[in-house]
Structure 1
Amino acid sequence: MSDDLVPDDLWERVSPLLPPRPPRRRRYPGRLPVDDRAALRGIVYVLCKGVSWADVPAERIGCSGVTAWRRLRDWTEAGVWPRLHEILLGELRKTGLLDMDDAAIDGSHIRALKRGAHTGPSPVDRARPGSKHHLMVDRHGTPLAVSLTGGNRHDVTQLIPLLDAIPHIRGTRGRPRRRPKRVFADRGYDYDKYRRLLRARGITPKIARKGTSHGSGLGKTRWVVERTFAWLHQFKRLRTRYEIRADLHLGLLQLACNIICLRRLRASF
């Protein structure tokens, strides 16, 4: 089972991005450091199973939960996951599996049990502490950008930051692609100010109007973002926020997006 957590195609893409370890002292060598692949296996185990770091089975995974947490901290601070995401998006574009003409955006609430940065009283959970996942996907539901905010932040506040967070996607000849042509969103994004901001960037807003009846047809394109949220919530650690540090929860969220991109890339072979 442990070998399936970090398959070869994932490890081949992650390993060149990992920061080098600090040099060891010759006089006091101490223990040998845990293998990076085993540490990544521990991280993915927590992400998929939703267990606490202390409950990682070191004898099966090859790494303790404390070591896996430390590597997650170090690799997140080094920016490994966004760089991996950019590489995977480039590969998807090269194989013709990325369609950025249409993009969809939405947000999803989760409960935050330990508070911390980017938490707030959730308006959909009796003002309990919560956070929000904000996601932008392409026409097929491939994650393009993701962010984390407090549970009381409005969805529309992350529209422009998510657009700016889309990496420069290469993979074909010519200039890298970064912006979609159209953005689909629900009524929570119905503000003329943001429509003007989108048009100023050369993007056509496709946003449902408040107070109008359903049946606009936008759901035929917008549903893919809801499906991607369902994919993300299959990673049990993302259903509830346990990390006090917001950057570590965001790192797990970015890693899950990378795994989704890799699964879509595998389907092409």
Structure 2
Amino acid sequence: MHRPDPRGGRPRVDDRVCFNAIVFVLFTGIAWQHLPREVGCSPATAHRRLAEWQAAGVFHRLHQELLRRLNTAGRIDWSTGVVDGSHVRALHKGALTGPSPVDRARTGSKHHLLTDSHGIPLAISLTGGNRNDVTQLLPLVDGVGPVRGKVGRPRTRPDKVLADRGYDHDKYRRELWKRGVKPVIARRGVEHGSHLGRERWVVERTFAWLHNLRRLRIRYERSGELHLAFMLLGCAVVCQRKLAE
């Protein structure tokens, strides 16, 4: 549906049509120029609307609204958060990219994720591929809330956070305690046997869900903000699926 543009010229493409086009790109991973005509939105229009909505905070608010609905339904486990990072290759470099230490120094980015114990994505961030995971621990914890949906004060963070040895820094443990969050972080140099893997696997499963959305498997966007828009939309997709279970 095309609404008349009060400024004159071609009518504005309906937001729902543009949103469907963006979701189509997210799921299929196709290049913008290959967007099928049947979608009803030109590649340039869909790309421009993606940028406009990200600048306006639309995808963040969408993710927050779905978290609110999950919280209302009692589906979020606030007792436990799980954090991890995952590398993706960045084909065109751009902002928030760097040489990946796990991919022969090829240019890449890192997706950083905080989930609850069910794998519901609570917060996500994007950095260059050479950034240490622990640098995003506090931004993720601080970036959760407020999540409304229950009587009383909205939740802003889980009660404890589980993390692997890559997050083993006492400085960050102290910062988590200051925020009222119990750090459960494996220590370097200690024999395996903490059994944290029995609880931490949920964040790896959520990464698998996100990276099944093909636009998130490889980063094509030069703009870090546009790739982050797809990441937030991916989190919204996972939340919607959880809500429908």
Q: TM-score range by the shorter chain?
A: over 0.9
Is 1:89 matched with 2:67?
A: yes
Partner of 1:51: 30
- The alpha carbon displacement at 1:156 in A equals 0.1
- The residue aligned with 2:48 is 70
Per the alignment, residue 16 of structure 2 pairs with 37
2:218 counterpart letter in structure 1: T
1:24 CA displacement: 2.1
- Counterparts of 1:1-269 in structure 2, within 5 Å, are 24-25=6-7, 29-58=8-37, 60-267=38-245
* Percentage of matched positions with identical amino acids: 58
Greater displacement, 205-214 / 239-248: 205-214
Q: Provide, for residues 127-163 of structure 1, a one-character-per-residue CA deviation record: whole Å limited to 9, x for no partner.
A: 1111000000011000000000000000000000111
TM-score (norm 1): 0.88
Shift in CA distance, 113/264, structure 1 to aligned 2, threshold 3 Å: same
Q: CA offsets per residue over residues 196-255 of structure 1, 9 Å max, x none?
A: 111111111110111222221111211100000000000001111100010000000000
Task: Give the CA deviation at 1:164.
Answer: 1.1
Q: Residues 145 and 157 of structure 2 are in contact (CA less than 8 Å); yes or no, is this contact kept in structure 1?
A: no
Are 2:4 and 2:11, in contact at CA under 8 Å, matched by a contact in 1? Answer: no
Q: Distance in 1 between matches of 2:48 and 2:15?
A: 11
3-state SS of 1:230 partner: helix
Name the SS of the counterpart of 1:163 in structure 2. Answer: helix
2:6 maps to amino acid: R
Residues 189 and 22 (structure 1 numbering): CA distance in 2 closer, same or farther, change over 3 Å? farther
Asked if 1 retains the 8 angstrom alpha-carbon contact of 2:4 and 2:10, the reply is no
Query: How many residues are aligned here?
Result: 243
Deviations 1:70-116 (A, max 9, x none): 11011000000111111111110111101111000000001111111
Runs of 5+ consecutive residues of structure 1 not aligned to the other structure: 1-20
SS at match of 2:11: coil
Counterparts in 2 of 1:22 and 1:150: CA distance versus 1, 3 Å: farther
Partner amino acid, structure 2, of 1:143: P
**TM-score, length-scaled by structure 2:** 0.96
Instruction: For 2:13 and 2:108, locate their aligned partners in 1 and report how far apart those are by CA, in whole Å.
Output: 34
